[in-house]
Protein backbone atom coordinates (compact mmCIF):
# COMPACT_ATOMS: atom_id res chain seq x y z
CA UNK A 1 0.00 0.00 0.00
CA UNK A 2 1.42 3.36 -1.02
CA UNK A 3 1.75 5.63 1.96
CA UNK A 4 3.02 9.14 2.57
CA UNK A 5 2.07 9.54 6.23
CA UNK A 6 3.96 12.26 8.09
CA UNK A 7 4.82 12.36 11.82
CA UNK A 8 3.82 14.87 14.52
CA UNK A 9 0.30 15.58 13.28
CA UNK A 10 1.30 16.71 9.82
CA UNK A 11 -1.14 16.16 6.96
CA UNK A 12 -1.06 12.71 5.43
CA UNK A 13 -2.23 11.11 2.19
CA UNK A 14 -2.37 7.37 1.56
CA UNK A 15 -4.03 4.75 -0.63
CA UNK A 16 -6.50 2.69 1.32
CA UNK A 17 -7.53 -0.94 0.89
CA UNK A 18 -10.81 0.32 -0.60
CA UNK A 19 -8.91 1.72 -3.60
CA UNK A 20 -9.47 5.37 -2.62
CA UNK A 21 -6.88 7.95 -1.67
CA UNK A 22 -7.42 9.24 1.88
CA UNK A 23 -6.13 12.49 3.32
CA UNK A 24 -6.03 13.66 6.95
CA UNK A 25 -5.39 17.21 8.11
CA UNK A 26 -5.00 18.36 11.73
CA UNK A 27 -7.02 21.58 12.04
CA UNK A 28 -7.01 22.08 15.81
CA UNK A 29 -7.88 20.46 19.10
CA UNK A 30 -11.23 18.96 20.14
CA UNK A 31 -12.99 19.73 23.41
CA UNK A 32 -11.53 16.55 24.94
CA UNK A 33 -7.97 17.64 24.12
CA UNK A 34 -7.43 15.21 21.26
CA UNK A 35 -6.28 16.44 17.82
CA UNK A 36 -9.10 17.47 15.48
CA UNK A 37 -8.20 15.47 12.35
CA UNK A 38 -10.37 16.05 9.28
CA UNK A 39 -10.71 13.42 6.56
CA UNK A 40 -11.02 13.72 2.76
CA UNK A 41 -11.38 10.87 0.27
CA UNK A 42 -10.85 10.91 -3.51
CA UNK A 43 -10.40 8.39 -6.34
CA UNK A 44 -7.16 9.97 -7.61
CA UNK A 45 -4.10 10.98 -5.63
CA UNK A 46 -3.95 14.36 -7.35
CA UNK A 47 -7.51 15.11 -6.29
CA UNK A 48 -6.85 13.99 -2.72
CA UNK A 49 -3.74 16.18 -2.60
CA UNK A 50 -5.71 19.17 -3.84
CA UNK A 51 -8.42 18.60 -1.22
CA UNK A 52 -5.83 18.35 1.55
CA UNK A 53 -4.15 21.60 0.45
CA UNK A 54 -7.52 23.41 0.38
CA UNK A 55 -8.32 22.17 3.87
CA UNK A 56 -4.90 23.35 5.08
CA UNK A 57 -5.58 26.81 3.63
CA UNK A 58 -8.91 26.97 5.47
CA UNK A 59 -7.19 25.87 8.67
CA UNK A 60 -4.52 28.54 8.29
CA UNK A 61 -7.18 31.20 7.54
CA UNK A 62 -9.26 30.13 10.56
CA UNK A 63 -12.32 29.26 8.49
CA UNK A 64 -12.68 25.57 9.33
CA UNK A 65 -15.99 24.88 11.07
CA UNK A 66 -16.02 23.56 14.63
CA UNK A 67 -16.05 19.80 15.08
CA UNK A 68 -19.04 18.20 16.76
CA UNK A 69 -22.77 18.07 16.09
CA UNK A 70 -23.88 18.51 12.50
CA UNK A 71 -26.41 21.28 12.94
CA UNK A 72 -29.39 21.88 10.71
CA UNK A 73 -31.20 25.20 10.65
CA UNK A 74 -34.01 23.56 12.65
CA UNK A 75 -31.80 22.10 15.38
CA UNK A 76 -29.65 25.22 15.71
CA UNK A 77 -32.55 27.71 15.81
CA UNK A 78 -34.44 25.56 18.33
CA UNK A 79 -31.33 25.30 20.54
CA UNK A 80 -30.57 29.01 20.15
CA UNK A 81 -34.04 30.36 20.91
CA UNK A 82 -34.74 28.11 23.92
CA UNK A 83 -31.32 27.67 25.52
CA UNK A 84 -29.31 30.73 24.51
CA UNK A 85 -31.74 33.59 23.83
CA UNK A 86 -34.62 32.83 26.23
CA UNK A 87 -32.66 33.17 29.50
CA UNK A 88 -31.08 36.47 28.46
CA UNK A 89 -33.72 38.61 26.70
CA UNK A 90 -37.02 40.15 27.73
CA UNK A 91 -40.40 38.44 27.44
CA UNK A 92 -41.59 40.46 24.46
CA UNK A 93 -38.31 39.93 22.62
CA UNK A 94 -38.36 36.15 23.06
CA UNK A 95 -41.99 36.07 21.92
CA UNK A 96 -40.94 37.76 18.68
CA UNK A 97 -38.01 35.38 18.25
CA UNK A 98 -40.24 32.34 18.76
CA UNK A 99 -42.76 33.50 16.17
CA UNK A 100 -39.97 34.06 13.63
CA UNK A 101 -38.33 30.70 14.39
CA UNK A 102 -41.31 28.37 14.72
CA UNK A 103 -43.80 29.97 12.32
CA UNK A 104 -41.46 31.08 9.55
CA UNK A 105 -37.81 29.98 9.61
CA UNK A 106 -38.13 26.31 10.58
CA UNK A 107 -41.03 25.56 8.17
CA UNK A 108 -39.24 27.41 5.36
CA UNK A 109 -35.55 26.60 5.89
CA UNK A 110 -35.36 24.04 8.69
CA UNK A 111 -33.97 21.12 6.69
CA UNK A 112 -30.90 23.03 5.44
CA UNK A 113 -27.59 22.08 7.01
CA UNK A 114 -26.32 25.09 8.95
CA UNK A 115 -22.96 25.09 7.19
CA UNK A 116 -24.58 24.90 3.75
CA UNK A 117 -26.97 27.85 4.13
CA UNK A 118 -26.29 30.53 1.52
CA UNK A 119 -27.37 34.20 1.33
CA UNK A 120 -29.41 33.35 -1.77
CA UNK A 121 -31.44 30.78 0.20
CA UNK A 122 -32.44 33.52 2.62
CA UNK A 123 -33.24 36.07 -0.09
CA UNK A 124 -35.47 33.61 -1.94
CA UNK A 125 -37.15 32.71 1.34
CA UNK A 126 -37.95 36.36 2.12
CA UNK A 127 -39.45 36.68 -1.37
CA UNK A 128 -41.64 33.61 -0.83
CA UNK A 129 -42.81 35.00 2.51
CA UNK A 130 -44.00 38.23 0.90
CA UNK A 131 -45.52 36.39 -2.07
CA UNK A 132 -47.45 34.30 0.45
CA UNK A 133 -48.96 37.38 2.10
CA UNK A 134 -46.44 38.32 4.80
CA UNK A 135 -45.68 42.02 5.07
CA UNK A 136 -42.24 43.46 4.42
CA UNK A 137 -42.10 44.27 8.13
CA UNK A 138 -42.67 40.63 9.08
CA UNK A 139 -40.04 39.44 6.60
CA UNK A 140 -37.63 42.04 7.98
CA UNK A 141 -38.25 40.85 11.55
CA UNK A 142 -37.50 37.27 10.45
CA UNK A 143 -34.28 38.49 8.81
CA UNK A 144 -33.16 40.24 12.00
CA UNK A 145 -33.92 37.12 14.03
CA UNK A 146 -31.97 34.71 11.82
CA UNK A 147 -29.07 37.17 11.62
CA UNK A 148 -28.89 37.30 15.42
CA UNK A 149 -29.12 33.52 15.71
CA UNK A 150 -26.40 32.91 13.12
CA UNK A 151 -24.14 35.55 14.66
CA UNK A 152 -24.17 33.37 17.76
CA UNK A 153 -23.35 30.30 15.65
CA UNK A 154 -20.33 32.17 14.25
CA UNK A 155 -19.26 33.28 17.72
CA UNK A 156 -19.32 29.65 18.92
CA UNK A 157 -17.44 28.32 15.92
CA UNK A 158 -20.33 26.42 14.29
CA UNK A 159 -20.17 28.75 11.28
CA UNK A 160 -17.31 30.70 9.78
CA UNK A 161 -19.41 33.34 8.01
CA UNK A 162 -22.95 34.53 8.72
CA UNK A 163 -24.93 34.29 5.46
CA UNK A 164 -27.68 36.51 6.93
CA UNK A 165 -25.15 39.35 7.24
CA UNK A 166 -24.52 39.09 3.50
CA UNK A 167 -28.12 38.52 2.34
CA UNK A 168 -30.08 41.62 1.33
CA UNK A 169 -32.96 42.11 3.75
CA UNK A 170 -36.46 42.91 2.46
CA UNK A 171 -36.94 46.55 1.61
CA UNK A 172 -38.78 48.18 4.45
CA UNK A 173 -40.86 51.21 3.54
CA UNK A 174 -41.17 53.87 6.20
CA UNK A 175 -44.53 53.45 7.87
CA UNK A 176 -46.94 56.23 7.00
CA UNK A 177 -48.01 58.13 10.10
CA UNK A 178 -51.78 58.54 10.13
CA UNK A 179 -52.91 60.20 13.34
CA UNK A 180 -56.47 61.10 14.15
CA UNK A 181 -57.54 64.70 13.65
CA UNK A 182 -58.39 67.00 16.54
CA UNK A 183 -62.08 66.68 15.64
CA UNK A 184 -61.84 62.88 15.65
CA UNK A 185 -60.07 62.93 19.01
CA UNK A 186 -62.82 65.09 20.46
CA UNK A 187 -65.40 62.59 19.20
CA UNK A 188 -63.45 59.70 20.75
CA UNK A 189 -63.11 61.45 24.10
CA UNK A 190 -66.80 62.30 24.17
CA UNK A 191 -67.63 58.61 23.81
CA UNK A 192 -64.85 57.55 26.19
CA UNK A 193 -66.44 59.65 28.95
CA UNK A 194 -69.36 57.22 28.87
CA UNK A 195 -67.15 54.14 29.35
CA UNK A 196 -65.55 52.47 32.35
CA UNK A 197 -62.08 54.01 31.99
CA UNK A 198 -62.31 57.38 30.19
CA UNK A 199 -58.94 58.53 31.61
CA UNK A 200 -57.27 55.52 30.03
CA UNK A 201 -57.91 56.81 26.49
CA UNK A 202 -57.17 60.43 27.34
CA UNK A 203 -53.70 59.45 28.57
CA UNK A 204 -52.90 57.82 25.21
CA UNK A 205 -54.43 60.53 23.03
CA UNK A 206 -53.12 63.51 24.99
CA UNK A 207 -49.82 62.27 26.44
CA UNK A 208 -48.82 59.57 23.92
CA UNK A 209 -48.11 56.76 26.38
CA UNK A 210 -47.73 53.28 24.90
CA UNK A 211 -50.32 50.66 25.78
CA UNK A 212 -48.02 48.80 28.16
CA UNK A 213 -47.06 52.06 29.88
CA UNK A 214 -50.69 53.04 30.50
CA UNK A 215 -51.74 49.62 31.79
CA UNK A 216 -48.64 49.43 33.99
CA UNK A 217 -49.35 52.72 35.78
CA UNK A 218 -49.86 52.58 39.53
CA UNK A 219 -51.31 55.23 41.79
CA UNK A 220 -47.86 55.72 43.33
CA UNK A 221 -46.75 56.97 39.88
CA UNK A 222 -49.26 59.84 39.95
CA UNK A 223 -48.45 62.99 41.94
CA UNK A 224 -51.66 65.00 42.14
CA UNK A 225 -50.00 67.93 43.92
CA UNK A 226 -47.24 68.40 41.34
CA UNK A 227 -49.59 67.36 38.47
CA UNK A 228 -47.04 64.85 37.19
CA UNK A 229 -47.17 61.15 36.35
CA UNK A 230 -44.00 59.09 35.96
CA UNK A 231 -43.59 56.10 33.69
CA UNK A 232 -41.76 53.29 35.52
CA UNK A 233 -42.96 50.01 34.00
CA UNK A 234 -44.74 48.19 31.19
CA UNK A 235 -47.63 45.77 31.46
CA UNK A 236 -46.73 42.45 29.82
CA UNK A 237 -49.07 40.24 27.85
CA UNK A 238 -50.00 37.13 29.86
CA UNK A 239 -48.52 33.80 28.77
CA UNK A 240 -50.59 30.83 29.79
CA UNK A 241 -50.03 27.14 30.37
CA UNK A 242 -52.57 24.42 31.06
CA UNK A 243 -53.81 23.99 34.59
CA UNK A 244 -55.89 20.94 33.79
CA UNK A 245 -53.32 18.24 34.59
CA UNK A 246 -54.92 14.81 34.91
CA UNK A 247 -57.99 15.77 32.88
CA UNK A 248 -56.75 17.55 29.71
CA UNK A 249 -59.25 20.03 28.29
CA UNK A 250 -58.01 19.61 24.70
CA UNK A 251 -57.90 23.38 24.13
CA UNK A 252 -55.04 25.79 23.58
CA UNK A 253 -53.44 26.98 26.84
CA UNK A 254 -55.06 30.43 26.58
CA UNK A 255 -58.53 28.87 26.47
CA UNK A 256 -58.01 26.28 29.20
CA UNK A 257 -60.69 26.76 31.91
CA UNK A 258 -57.95 26.34 34.53
CA UNK A 259 -55.21 28.23 32.70
CA UNK A 260 -52.25 29.54 34.69
CA UNK A 261 -50.36 32.73 33.81
CA UNK A 262 -46.64 31.94 33.90
CA UNK A 263 -45.44 35.45 33.09
CA UNK A 264 -44.90 38.34 35.48
CA UNK A 265 -47.43 41.18 35.21
CA UNK A 266 -45.00 44.01 34.46
CA UNK A 267 -41.36 44.73 33.77
CA UNK A 268 -39.51 47.89 34.72
CA UNK A 269 -38.64 50.34 31.98
CA UNK A 270 -34.88 50.01 31.59
CA UNK A 271 -33.98 52.85 29.24
CA UNK A 272 -33.52 56.36 30.56
CA UNK A 273 -35.78 57.68 27.79
CA UNK A 274 -38.55 55.26 28.78
CA UNK A 275 -38.48 56.29 32.46
CA UNK A 276 -39.90 59.77 32.28
CA UNK A 277 -42.09 62.25 34.18
CA UNK A 278 -44.92 63.87 32.22
CA UNK A 279 -47.04 66.85 33.20
CA UNK A 280 -50.78 66.22 33.55
CA UNK A 281 -53.19 68.75 31.99
CA UNK A 282 -55.91 69.99 34.38
CA UNK A 283 -58.82 68.22 32.58
CA UNK A 284 -56.96 64.90 32.75
CA UNK A 285 -56.11 65.49 36.40
CA UNK A 286 -59.83 65.90 37.11
CA UNK A 287 -60.57 62.68 35.20
CA UNK A 288 -57.96 60.77 37.23
CA UNK A 289 -59.40 62.06 40.49
CA UNK A 290 -62.86 60.93 39.40
CA UNK A 291 -61.43 57.59 38.27
CA UNK A 292 -59.82 57.06 41.69
CA UNK A 293 -63.19 57.71 43.31
CA UNK A 294 -64.92 55.25 40.95
CA UNK A 295 -62.27 52.63 41.70
CA UNK A 296 -62.91 52.99 45.42
CA UNK A 297 -66.57 52.22 44.74
CA UNK A 298 -65.52 49.11 42.75
CA UNK A 299 -63.34 48.05 45.67
CA UNK A 300 -66.26 48.25 48.07
CA UNK A 301 -68.57 46.34 45.70
CA UNK A 302 -66.02 43.57 45.16
CA UNK A 303 -65.39 43.26 48.90
CA UNK A 304 -63.34 40.08 49.54
CA UNK A 305 -62.94 39.45 45.82
CA UNK A 306 -60.83 42.59 45.42
CA UNK A 307 -57.08 42.08 45.01
CA UNK A 308 -55.21 45.26 45.86
CA UNK A 309 -52.22 45.70 43.56
CA UNK A 310 -52.23 49.47 43.22
CA UNK A 311 -52.90 49.72 39.47
CA UNK A 312 -54.63 52.81 38.08
CA UNK A 313 -56.64 50.82 35.54
CA UNK A 314 -58.04 47.51 36.76
CA UNK A 315 -60.67 44.84 36.29
CA UNK A 316 -63.70 44.97 38.62
CA UNK A 317 -61.68 42.88 41.11
CA UNK A 318 -58.47 44.90 41.11
CA UNK A 319 -56.40 42.88 38.65
CA UNK A 320 -54.39 44.75 35.99
CA UNK A 321 -56.16 45.03 32.63
CA UNK A 322 -55.33 42.39 30.02
CA UNK A 323 -53.72 44.08 26.96
CA UNK A 324 -55.83 41.94 24.64
CA UNK A 325 -59.08 43.06 26.32
CA UNK A 326 -57.84 46.66 26.22
CA UNK A 327 -57.16 46.34 22.46
CA UNK A 328 -60.71 45.13 21.77
CA UNK A 329 -62.17 47.99 23.83
CA UNK A 330 -60.20 50.43 21.64
CA UNK A 331 -61.60 48.83 18.49
CA UNK A 332 -65.13 49.05 19.90
CA UNK A 333 -64.58 52.72 20.76
CA UNK A 334 -63.48 53.52 17.20
CA UNK A 335 -66.47 51.68 15.75
CA UNK A 336 -68.89 53.50 18.04
CA UNK A 337 -67.34 56.85 17.02
CA UNK A 338 -67.69 55.97 13.33
CA UNK A 339 -63.95 56.35 12.73
CA UNK A 340 -61.55 54.32 10.60
CA UNK A 341 -60.12 51.28 12.27
CA UNK A 342 -56.66 51.87 13.65
CA UNK A 343 -54.05 50.55 16.00
CA UNK A 344 -53.69 51.68 19.56
CA UNK A 345 -50.37 53.11 18.42
CA UNK A 346 -52.27 55.59 16.24
CA UNK A 347 -53.36 57.32 19.45
CA UNK A 348 -49.68 57.80 20.24
CA UNK A 349 -49.10 59.21 16.73
CA UNK A 350 -51.90 61.69 17.40
CA UNK A 351 -50.29 62.93 20.61
CA UNK A 352 -46.91 63.38 18.90
CA UNK A 353 -48.46 65.32 16.04
CA UNK A 354 -50.29 67.69 18.38
CA UNK A 355 -47.08 68.39 20.33
CA UNK A 356 -45.16 69.20 17.16
CA UNK A 357 -47.96 71.35 15.74
CA UNK A 358 -48.05 73.34 18.98
CA UNK A 359 -44.37 74.10 18.51
CA UNK A 360 -43.21 72.30 21.64
CA UNK A 361 -39.37 72.21 21.58
CA UNK A 362 -37.88 69.02 20.16
CA UNK A 363 -36.16 68.03 23.42
CA UNK A 364 -39.46 68.28 25.31
CA UNK A 365 -41.31 66.26 22.65
CA UNK A 366 -38.62 63.55 22.86
CA UNK A 367 -38.93 63.44 26.65
CA UNK A 368 -42.74 63.22 26.65
CA UNK A 369 -42.83 60.54 23.95
CA UNK A 370 -39.97 58.54 25.45
CA UNK A 371 -37.96 58.56 22.21
CA UNK A 372 -34.35 57.46 22.66
CA UNK A 373 -31.71 60.01 21.58
CA UNK A 374 -30.51 57.91 18.64
CA UNK A 375 -34.02 57.61 17.23
CA UNK A 376 -35.61 60.93 18.12
CA UNK A 377 -34.62 62.90 15.01
CA UNK A 378 -35.78 60.08 12.72
CA UNK A 379 -39.09 59.82 14.58
CA UNK A 380 -39.74 63.56 14.29
CA UNK A 381 -39.02 63.45 10.55
CA UNK A 382 -41.87 60.95 10.13
CA UNK A 383 -44.29 63.67 11.27
CA UNK A 384 -42.75 66.43 9.17
CA UNK A 385 -45.28 66.22 6.32
CA UNK A 386 -48.13 66.66 8.80
CA UNK A 387 -46.67 69.63 10.62
CA UNK A 388 -45.62 71.24 7.33
CA UNK A 389 -49.20 71.01 6.09
CA UNK A 390 -50.48 72.82 9.20
CA UNK A 391 -47.80 75.48 8.87
CA UNK A 392 -48.74 76.02 5.21
CA UNK A 393 -52.42 76.36 6.14
CA UNK A 394 -51.46 78.92 8.77
CA UNK A 395 -49.35 80.87 6.26
CA UNK A 396 -52.30 80.97 3.85
CA UNK A 397 -54.53 82.40 6.60
CA UNK A 398 -51.95 85.07 7.44
CA UNK A 399 -51.59 85.89 3.77
CA UNK A 400 -55.33 86.18 3.36
CA UNK A 401 -55.54 88.54 6.33
CA UNK A 402 -52.68 90.87 5.39
CA UNK A 403 -53.04 90.75 1.63
CA UNK A 404 -56.71 90.26 0.91
CA UNK A 405 -57.66 89.38 -2.62
CA UNK A 406 -58.93 92.35 -4.65
CA UNK A 407 -62.67 92.49 -4.95
CA UNK A 408 -63.97 91.38 -8.30
CA UNK A 409 -65.97 93.99 -10.26
CA UNK A 410 -69.72 93.46 -10.12
CA UNK A 411 -71.14 91.47 -12.98
CA UNK A 412 -72.58 93.59 -15.81
Report residue 2's pLDDT band, with 50, 70 and 90 as the boundaries.
Answer: very low
CB-CB contact of 352 with 365 (8 Å): yes
Confidence of residue 374 (pLDDT cuts 50, 70, 90): low
Would you state the pLDDT for residue 141? 94
Q: How far apart are CA 404 and CA 383, in angstroms?
A: 31
Reduced to 3 states, what is the DSSP secondary structure of residue 250?
coil
Q: Is the pLDDT of residue 390 over 60?
A: no
Distances (CA, A) of 407 to 395, 396, 397, 402, 411: 21, 18, 17, 14, 12
* Share above pLDDT 70 across residues of the chain, in percent, rounded to a whole number: 85
How far is 303 from 268, CA to CA, in rounded Å?
Answer: 30
Candidate from 121-135, 273-287, 331-345, 355-369 with smallest mean pLDDT:
355-369
Phi, psi dihedral angles at 28 (to 5 degrees): 165, -155
Measured CA to CA, the distance from residue 257 to residue 135 in angstroms comes to 34
Of all helices (H) and strands (E), which one includes residue 28?
A: strand 21-29
pTM, to two decimals: 0.64
pLDDT at site 357: 63
pLDDT value for 277: 87
- Report DSSP state, residue 404: P
Q: Does residue 243 contact residue 390 with C-beta atoms inside 8 Å?
A: no
Q: Is 80 exceeded by the pLDDT of residue 256?
A: yes
Round to whole Å and give the CA distance between 73 and 31.
23
Minimal CA–CA distance to 316: which of 296, 330, 290? Answer: 296
Q: Residue 86's pLDDT is what?
A: 92
Task: List pLDDT tens digits, range 85-120.
Answer: 999 988 888 989 999 999 999 999 999 999 899 999
Residue 42: band (very low, low, confident or very high) from pLDDT cuts 50, 70, 90 = very high
Question: For the chain, what's the residue count?
Answer: 412
Tell me the average pLDDT across 30-57.
88
Per the prediction, the chain carries an average pLDDT of: 84
pLDDT number for residue 1: 43
Amino acid sequence: MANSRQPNGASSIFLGKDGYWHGYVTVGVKDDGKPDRRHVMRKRRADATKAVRELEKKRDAGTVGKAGQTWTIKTWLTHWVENIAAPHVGENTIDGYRVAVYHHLIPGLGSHRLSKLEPEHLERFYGKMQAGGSSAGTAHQVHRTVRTALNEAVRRGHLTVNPASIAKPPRLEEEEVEPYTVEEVQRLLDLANKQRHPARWVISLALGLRQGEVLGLKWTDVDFELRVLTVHRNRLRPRYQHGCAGHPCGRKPGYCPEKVNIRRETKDTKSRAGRRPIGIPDPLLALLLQHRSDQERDRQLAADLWTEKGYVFTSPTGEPLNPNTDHHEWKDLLKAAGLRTGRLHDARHTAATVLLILGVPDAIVDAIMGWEPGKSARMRRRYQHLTNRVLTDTADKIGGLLWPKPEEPPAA
